[in-house]
Amino acid sequence: MPFADDLLEQADELAFKEQTNPKQASLRRAVSTAYYALFHLLIDDAVSKWAVERQRSILARTFDHGRMKGICDDVVKAVKGGANLPQELNIVAHNFIQLQQHRLTADYDNAKQWSRTDVVNVLALATDAFNAWRAIRTEDAAQDYLLQLFLPRLPRQ
């Protein structure tokens, strides 16, 4: 099972680790792990295209959370503006943004008390993004998206 799938599975396990009275630590780690599952799913697909296999892990470390969010913002805005992009790509981009925000809240906002329901909703965002990505991962729009996640801003074509 690929690493991203392992992370998504682990997020689910963390969300349900305690049968009753779930610990905030488990719920917060589940949220954070759900984000990282999608983060790594996209990175793994992008670097899998790199010809020199031994360099893929080095390339993977160059991906930047903020840059990826910015590209996702661009996709969501383009779709709202009428761009002809697959709806699945919009789901991936939109859910990436949401998951990243939830991860920041889970990791840094100690005032927020997470419920299991909150976390289940976050896990649904990740699962929906995984399903949407897998439906379009080989399409040109998806491959262009992966390239944009990595390269400096490209001129609009």
Domain ranges of the chain: 3-150
Q: Rounded to two decimals, what is the model's pTM?
A: 0.94
Q: How many residues does the chain have?
A: 157
pLDDT digits (tens, 9 = 90+) for 54-89: 998 998 998 999 999 999 999 999 999 999 999 999
Pair of tokens at residue 89 = 């790509």
Please enumerate in sequence order all residues whose Cβ is within 8 A of that of 41, keeping only pairs 6 or more positions apart, or say none: 2, 4, 129, 130, 133
Residue 96 to residue 144: CA distance in whole angstroms:
17
pLDDT digits (tens, 9 = 90+) for 127-152: 999 999 999 999 999 999 999 998 76
